[in-house]
């Protein structure tokens, strides 16, 4: 199976490398230095999304948001112009569910199948090949593409028809954002009260308050490491999509709205490109204390 990959950023580059390691023939879009690195590792390089699709049975996109996916898939020299009937587009970006459904309808008119398959785990798990993939689309298309997705992930779960993958990812992003906020409140409280946050973390991580988010972010916060595994700006984008979807289906999300406002305040302070664990700095600014070992 020949796999095309478009979007070689923080996540896309290691995901592409894992496809090569798994033995897939890979075609990437020639737009940045990552493409040259992958070419040296054995990937073919194409000049346009159309050309990537012409050389591939499956085209994976890993792009920032809905407009970029629409442009690459449906725009001039887009994937839709080069993909063959029976081929599959797997969009692993995190975008609005209604956009996924609209793109899938246009692809279906040309006999092209689509899965929306956003991921969770950030750069470390993209490098390890242990991402969690949540997938929307037809069961038979999911079954056909399962091994391709599994080459980049430890968990690949179909959650429903097209759009369901991105609804699941929105739910994931709510839980992650609120977990980081809760962790930040707790560690800032402990620090302000004169209790070492490292000891608080060690005491609670094995109990009900323990979580993957706590273990991933608390040590980085205490070491003052805010290099992006997942940028605040990207989490803002995801929470914007959450609230857009919540309005469409009529679900109030007061906690999500509050955390989004905190992230927007950090962006206004010039911290939008920092890791989302940097949400702690919103609380630190208010409490005039720093969480550190």
Q: Which residues are the active-site residues? A: 169
Q: Which residues contact 98 (CB under 8 A, 6 or more apart)?
A: 163, 245, 248
Under 8 Å between Cβ of 94 and 132:
no
Cα atoms found within 13 Å of the Cα of residue 103, Cβ hemisphere only: 33
Tell me phi and psi for residue 166, to 5 degrees. -75, -30
Under 8 Å between Cβ of 213 and 235:
no
- Using a CB cutoff of 8 Å and minimum separation of 24, what contacts does 195-198 make? 196/293, 197/222, 197/291, 197/292, 197/293, 198/222, 198/293
Structure tokens at 132: 């969690």
What is the distance of C-alpha 137 from the center of its chain? 18
Cα atoms found within 13 Å of the Cα of residue 134, Cβ hemisphere only: 21
CA distance 162 to 120: 18
CA distance 287 to 89: 48
Secondary structure (3-state) at 177: helix
Question: How does 22-41 read in b/e, with b if 16+ C-beta sit within 10 Å?
Answer: eebbbbbbbeeebbeebeee
Which residues pair with residue 131 across a beta bridge?
A: 153
Burial of 56 per CB tally in 10 Å (0-12, 13-18, 19+): buried
């Amino acid at each position: 199976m020949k796999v095309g990959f478009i979007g070689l950023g923080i996540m896309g580059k290691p995901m592409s490398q894992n496809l090569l390691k798994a033995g897939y023939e890979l075609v990437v879009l020639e737009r940045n230095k990552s493409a040259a690195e992958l070419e040296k590792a054995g990937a073919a390089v194409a000049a346009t999304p159309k050309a990537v699709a012409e050389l591939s049975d499956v085209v994976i996109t890993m792009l920032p948001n809905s407009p970029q996916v629409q442009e690459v898939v449906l725009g001039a020299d887009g994937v839709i112009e080069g993909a063959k009937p029976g081929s599959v587009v797997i969009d692993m970006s995190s975008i609005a569910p209604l956009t996924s459904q609209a793109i899938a309808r246009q692809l279906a008119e040309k006999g092209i199948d689509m899965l929306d398959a956003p991921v969770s785990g950030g750069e470390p798990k993209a490098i390890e090949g242990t991402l969690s993939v949540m997938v929307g689309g037809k069961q038979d298309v999911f079954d056909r593409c399962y091994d391709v997705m599994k080459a980049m992930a430890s968990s690949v779960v179909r959650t429903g028809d097209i759009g369901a993958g991105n609804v699941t990812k929105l739910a994931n992003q709510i839980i992650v954002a609120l977990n980081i906020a809760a962790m930040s409140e707790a560690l800032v409280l402990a620090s302000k009260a004169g209790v070492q946050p490292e000891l608080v973390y060690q005491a609670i991580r094995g109990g009900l308050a323990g979580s993957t988010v706590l273990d991933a972010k608390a040590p980085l916060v205490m070491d003052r490491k805010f290099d992006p595994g997942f940028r605040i700006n990207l989490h803002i984008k995801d929470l914007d999509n959450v609230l857009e979807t919540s309005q469409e289906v009529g679900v109030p999300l007061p906690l999500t709205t509050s955390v989004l406002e905190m992230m927007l305040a950090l962006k206004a302070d010039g911290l939008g490109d920092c890791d989302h664990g940097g949400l702690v700095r919103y609380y630190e600014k208010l409490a005039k204390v720093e969480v550190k070992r």
